[in-house]
């Protein structure tokens, strides 16, 4: 479960921002997570709850909100853009495998709500 390591990294980044901005308490963090990033949202939420309750000075009871990023693939052979999860690496329009992932593998901190 690599989600715990990801959670620790995000908490470290959020706490740094909190200290730099004289924030006493972070109430919510919104993450955008790609649907083919390898991150399991349920595991992320479970790890998050444990970590903020036990390991974070500024983030006690901080809520994690996850927004999925749809995985989209581009076909260099025909220019088609399609749903990666449904069709994989093979373009549904021309059957070419000359494709690459456009979105869906990334993870971002989108928003931090604090007081």
pLDDT along the chain (115 residues), means of 10: 89 94 94 96 94 86 96 98 97 98 97 93
pLDDT for residue 13: 95
Q: Strand 81-83 vs strand 63-69: parallel, antiparallel, or unpaired?
A: unpaired
Find, among 12, 63, 6, 14, the residue nearest to 33 by Cα. Answer: 6
Query: The whole model's pTM is what?
Result: 0.87
Q: Report the CATH number of the 3-12+23-114 domain.
A: 3.30.2320.80
Neighbouring-strand partners of residue 29: 64, 112
Compute the CA torsion angle 42, 45, 50, 52 (nearest 10 deg): 170
pLDDT for residue 55: 81
- In order of 19, 87, 95, 107, 110, the CA distances from 66 in angstroms are 23, 24, 33, 10, 9
Residue 63's Cβ-side half-sphere holds a number of Cα atoms within 13 Å equal to 6
Measured from the Cβ of residue 56, the count of other Cβ atoms closer than 10 Å reads 20
pLDDT for residue 1: 54
Q: Strand 63-69 vs strand 26-34: parallel, antiparallel, or unpaired?
A: parallel
């Amino acid at each position: 479960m690599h989600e715990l390591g990801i959670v620790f990294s995000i908490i470290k980044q959020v706490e740094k921002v909190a200290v730099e901005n004289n924030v006493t308490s972070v109430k919510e963090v919104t993450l955008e997570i790609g649907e083919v990033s390898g991150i399991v949202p349920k595991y992320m939420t479970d790890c998050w709850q444990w970590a903020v309750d036990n390991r974070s000075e500024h983030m006690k009871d901080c809520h994690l909100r996850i927004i999925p990023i749809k995985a989209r693939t581009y076909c260099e052979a025909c220019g088609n853009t399609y749903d990666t999860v449904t069709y994989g690496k093979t373009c549904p329009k021309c059957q070419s495998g000359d494709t690459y992932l456009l979105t869906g593998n990334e993870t971002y901190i989108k928003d931090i709500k604090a007081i």
